[in-house]
Amino acid sequence: MFMSTNLSKQTVLVTGASSGIGQAIAIAMGKAGANVVINYHSDDEAANGTLDIIHKNGGEGLIIKADVSREDEMVAMFANAIKYFGTIDILVNNAGIQKDSKFIEMSLQDWQEVMDTNLTGQFLCAREAAKEFCRRGVVAGRSVAAGKVIFISSVHNIVPWAGHANYTTSKGGETMLMKTMAQELAPQKIRVNSIAPGAIKTDINKKVWSDPVQAKELLRMIPYNRIGEPEDIAKVAVWLASDEADYITGTTIYVDGGMTLYPEFAYGG
Ligand code: NAD
């Protein structure tokens, strides 16, 4: 049986799609034929930039400004997206932040903000998407699944990271959210998976990759010896959302150039 990564007739909602990994995923999904709902938080110009590229590539898009941590805004965002495109077939739960500090200096506010965006935000979006997938079910000729959820996790869902207790905890929690959803929703033909990026060149870690000394240190942690590009993640997201990946659910795919291979053992041990 021939299948492809063509996503035409499907609609994807990507959170945090005005920059970095989310923007690359939105563009790649548009190229694969999907209608793209571009959620963003604050940068109007950048969100318009994502839409312009999708249009130039011949795709369709809709921009929705909303904060993923706000339940009222997420309920409204999904209702508007469904009204505009008819339904949602794919959710990419990408929006995320870091608020780094030493553990004993971490404020409750910094802890809470990261949980609200990275974990509660992903829960709210996943719940709204899953409701729509359950309501609609499988549509013949569109996809063999009723819906797909892709969490953008991190290697720090399993790798501890000093100075980032809030971030690592949010990503670890997200893994159990993803697995539990996958188990609960598989009978409804809904697939739920995560992509765990290693170090990808975006705004979130610009301080590191734009400094030659820190960038060299970072490369020591990447056996494949290059920092990742947002497109490295986007290609996997398109494939994972397609029927080519139909038997995959409840899994995390590491896209990290080998960062999770205990790279320090290459130098000793
Ligand atoms: P980024 O800062 O470019 O993207 C994060 C996006 O999330 C931004 O567009 C931001 O506006 C949006 N956002 C933040 N708070 C929001 C909110 N409350 N509501 C809606 N949108 C919100 O960085 P990125 O690297 O592209 O990050 C995307 C995802 O990838 C994050 O979940 C991050 O944890 C994850 N990740 C990134 C790396 C990396 O090396 N860049 C590695 C592992 C995981």
Instruction: Report how far ligand 1's centroid is from the alpha carbon of 187 (Å).
Output: 31
> Separation of 118 CA from ligand 1 center, angstroms?
9
Q: How sure is the predictor about 4, in pLDDT bands with cuts at 50, 70 and 90?
A: confident
Furthest CA-CA distance within the chain = 58
In order of their start, the domains of the chain are: 11-201+230-259 (3.40.50.720)
Residue showing tokens 């797909």 = 148
Q: Is 167 a catalytic residue?
A: yes
Nearest to 174 by CA among 248, 256, 117: 117
pLDDT for 269: 74
The distance of Cα 224 from the centroid of its chain, to the nearest Å, equals: 22
Q: Which atom of ligand 1 is nearest to the CA of 21?
A: 26
Task: Give the Å distance between the CA of 23 and the centre of ligand 1.
Answer: 10
Q: What is the mean pLDDT of residues 174-194?
A: 98
User: Looking at residues 20-41, what average pLDDT do you find?
Assistant: 98
Nearest residue to 194 (alpha-carbon basis) of 223, 233, 162:
233
**Among 97, 128, 157, 256, which residue has the most ligand 1 atoms within 8 Å of its CB, making it the best to mutate?**
97
Of 19, 167, 229, best ligand 1 pocket probe by most atoms within 8 Å of the beta carbon: 19
- Between the CA of 217 and the centroid of ligand 1 the distance, in Å, is 23
For the beta sheet containing 90-93, the strands, ordered from the edge strand earlier in sequence to the opposite edge, are 61-65, 35-40, 11-14, 90-93, 147-152, 190-197, 252-255
Mean pLDDT along residues 134-158: 98
Nearest CA to ligand 1 atom 33: 96
Q: Which residue's C-alpha comes closest to atom 41 of ligand 1?
A: 200
Q: What is the pLDDT of residue 2?
A: 54
pLDDT for 169 beyond 80:
yes
Q: What is the pLDDT of residue 148?
A: 99
| Size of the chain, expressed as the number of residues it contains | 269
**pLDDT at residue 3, as a whole number:** 62
| pLDDT, tens digit (0-9, with 9 covering 90-100), for 229-256 | 999 999 999 999 999 999 999 999 999 9
Q: Of 38, 80, 41, which Cα lies nearest the Cα of 59?
A: 38
pLDDT at 176: 98
Q: Which is nearest to 200 in space by CA: 174, 236, 162?
A: 236
Residues 193-213: tens digit of each pLDDT: 999 999 999 998 999 999 999
Testing ligand 1's pocket by substitution, the residue of 15, 18, 21 carrying the most ligand atoms inside 8 A of its CB is 21
pLDDT value at 265 more than 70: yes
| pLDDT, tens only, 62-121 | 999 999 999 999 999 999 999 999 999 999 999 999 999 999 999 999 999 999 999 999
Instruction: Give residue 97 CA to ligand 1 midpoint distance, Å.
Output: 6
CB atoms within 10 A of CB 103: 10
Kindly give the number of the ligand 1 atom that is closest to the alpha carbon of 97.
Answer: 14
**Structure confidence at residue 91 (pLDDT):** 99
Q: Which residues form ligand 1's pocket by a CB distance below 6 Å?
A: 15-16, 18-22, 39-42, 67-69, 94-97, 117, 121, 152, 154, 197, 199-200, 202-205
Protein residue with its CA nearest to atom 23 in ligand 1: 204
DSSP string, 50-102: HHHHHHHTT--EEEEE--TT-HHHHHHHHHHHHHHHS---EEEE---------
| DSSP bridge pairs for 228 | 200
Q: How far apart are CA 178 and CA 169, in angstroms?
A: 14
Question: What average pLDDT does the segment 147-173 reach?
Answer: 98
Give the pair of three-digit tokens for residue 127: 């719940």
- Which residue intervals of the chain are DSSP H helices? 20-31, 44-56, 71-85, 108-115, 121-136, 165-185, 206-209, 212-219, 230-241
Give me the catalytic one of 167, 224, 247, 254. Answer: 167
